Amino acid sequence: MKEITSSEFESEVLAGGKVVLDFYSTECPPCDALAPKFEGLANLYGSDIKFFKMFRQQNKPLAEKLGVKSSPTLLFFDNGIQLEKSMSGGIKRSDIIHQLDSMIPAERVKEIKSQIIPTISEFDVLILGAGPGGLTAGLYLCQSKINTVLIDIALPGGQVSNTHSVSNYPGFIEPQPGYMLSHNMSEQTKQCGTIYKVAVDVTRIDLEKKEVVIDEFETVKAKKIIIATGTSPNLMGVSGEKEMKGKGISYCATCDAKYYGDKEVVVIGGGNSAVEEADFISKFASKITMVHQFDAFTANKQAQEKLLANPKISTLFEHEPRSFVRQGDKIITEVENLKTKEITKLNSDGIFVFIGMKPNIDLFREKLELDKWGYIKTNEDMLTSMPGVYAVGDVISKKYRQITTAVADGTIAAIAIAKELS
């Protein structure tokens, strides 16, 4: 794969043929995550598609002209024409493959796919999930000189990366932006030497054999597995939600509140997350209607008082959403009064949903003992019902799910494993 500069752009990229161009930066974890995937795909598709990379900081005017706003960004060209599709952030190998396949004839795709050689790598410990729990386990294991790999379907950091401000993580006097806290955790573990395989597709997990297949061709084996896959937001299961998920209905204020400057939004929920996130959204939105099924918020008193004093926020207690309907730029939320059954229509620009979380256990649900809510049961060493398989953080059965408790679980599992392996 060739590195080019702006001066070669015309002769190399626009001259013709099919091209994929990677704008990368230094000190850029998502760029580091992409590099080996890009290199591997260049070897595979290199005779049909030209692979180039360009250092974004040194080729800024061209990057801006081509609409590149973050690193890494992949742009695709066909016969000198820039294709509509571009990719940035935690880019998955499967997404690049999908795009490359669409650029060449189907027969060639078949031939190329037949050349993929399955690989196997072996480690002492495999950690699934690089949130605070997994990252801490990775740090402790690495410091014990245990050969450890961290696998995540997204970039490292977990839910903390999407939390706008964290004020209760010890060691910091001022509240910390969540993305900084998770970045620091991730870099600390990475610099220690833990191997990262992130923004990958986890295709298969065999807990008995301690094997995980990623991106369909790479088998990662280990002596022990730590599950640190955390939780995902619950969906409401209401008509219109699926269609508008990510297109007006959001589950992450840090990610999306900025798009609602001077706009009206509806927030569904009344626990800590809903109340704290509504307060954050009010920095942008002009009006927030909170819809909650109970007759009072269940969030802590301090957060509630702050919210109720916020003039931008009004509340609809004992109401539940029944449907979402798009009407031009607006979304109509039909809410039912749980007492009178009366339906009210709320007109807003966007919806934020914070109605609790569910454990990420889909790929191994049947294999482990779970509590009645579907969280993994562990003993005091964080060992699950299966020998050699540990679980830490929000995915386990416990009372309090916080960064500090996830970090503590990760510590315990790592020390227990280090003792067993020594």
Ligand X SMILES: Cc1cc2nc3c(=O)[nH]c(=O)nc-3n(C[C@H](O)[C@H](O)[C@H](O)COP(=O)(O)OP(=O)(O)OC[C@H]3O[C@@H](n4cnc5c(N)ncnc54)[C@H](O)[C@@H]3O)c2cc1C
Catalytic residue ranges: 252, 255-256
394 binds ligand X (CB under 6 A): yes
Nearest distance, CB of residue 125 and ligand X, angstroms: 14
Residue 163 binds ligand X, judged by CB under 6 A: yes
CB-CB contact of 130 with 158 (8 Å): yes
Among 13, 21, 103, 128, binds ligand X (CB under 6 A): 128
- CB 186 → ligand X: shortest distance, Å? 10
The amino acid at 379: N
90's tokens: 């935690």
* 258-266, 278-286, 378-386, 399-407 -> range binding ligand X (CB under 6 A): 399-407
CA atoms of 175 and 167, how far apart (whole Å): 4
Query: Given candidates 14, 62, 153, 332, which one binds ligand X under the rule CB under 6 A?
Result: 153
Q: Verify binding: residue 391, ligand X, rule CB under 6 A.
A: no
The enclosing H or E element of 8 equals: helix 6-8
Among 72, 129, 138, 350, binds ligand X (CB under 6 A): 129
Among 12, 152, 218, 264, binds ligand X (CB under 6 A): 152
What is the spatial distance between Cα 344 and Cα 322, in angstroms, rounded to a whole number? 10
Of 256 and 336, CB closest to ligand X: 256
Taking alpha carbons only, the member of 259, 229, 265 closest to residue 353 is 265
Q: Which of 26, 43, 168, 347 binds ligand X (CB under 6 A)?
A: 168
Under rule CB under 6 A, residue 134 binds ligand X? yes
- Show contacts with ligand X in window 271-310 (CB under 6 A): 273, 277
For residue 233, whether the previous peptide bond is cis, meaning omega lies within 30 degrees of 0, is no
Q: What is the closest distance, in whole angstroms, from the C-beta atom of residue 228 to ligand X in the complex?
A: 5
Which CB sits closer to ligand X, 100 or 200? 200
401 near ligand X, rule: CB under 6 A: yes
Q: Which of 72, 138, 158, 240 is close enough to bind ligand X by CB under 6 A?
A: 158
Q: What stretch of H or E contains 190?
A: helix 178-192
Q: Is 149 in the site for ligand X (CB under 6 A)?
A: no
Q: Which stretch, 3-11, 23-31, 155-163, 237-245, contacts ligand X (CB under 6 A)?
A: 155-163
Site membership for ligand X, residue 244 (CB under 6 A): no
Which string of x and - marks every residue 190-229 that binds ligand X (by CB under 6 A)?
------------x-------------------------xx
CB 25 within 8 A of CB 72: yes
Cα–Cα distance, 332 to 377 (Å, whole number): 41
AA identity, residue 288: I
Give the count of residues interacting with ligand X (CB under 6 A).
33
The stretch near ligand X (CB under 6 A) out of 10-18, 52-60, 71-79, 152-160 is: 152-160
Binding mask 339-378 for ligand X (x = CB under 6 A): ---------------------x--x---------------
Give the residue with the Cβ less far from ligand X, 21 or 127. 127
Tokens in use for 309? 């004093």
Residue 280 carries which DSSP code? H
Q: Would you call 313 exposed, middle or buried from its count of C-beta atoms within 10 A (0-12, 13-18, 19+)?
A: buried
In one-letter notation, the amino acid at residue 249 is: I
> Shortest approach of ligand X to residue 146 CB, angstroms?
19
Residue that is written with structure tokens 């000189």 in the block: 145
Q: Are 390 and 148 in contact (CB under 8 A)?
A: no
User: Half-sphere exposure of residue 401, counting CA atoms within 13 Å on the CB side?
Assistant: 21
As measured in angstroms, the least distance from the Cβ of 310 to ligand X is 18
Element (H, E) at 306: helix 301-308
First-to-last alpha carbon distance for the chain, in angstroms, is 42
| Number of residues in the chain | 422
Query: Between β-strands 357-359 and 389-391, what pairing exists: parallel, antiparallel or unpaired?
Result: unpaired
Helices (H), 233-271: 241-244, 253-256
Residue 151 near ligand X by CB under 6 A: yes
CA 130, 133, 136, 137 torsion-angle sign: negative
Q: Which residues lie near ligand X (CB under 6 A)?
A: 128-134, 151-154, 158-160, 163, 166, 168, 202, 228-231, 273, 277, 360, 363, 393-394, 401-404, 406
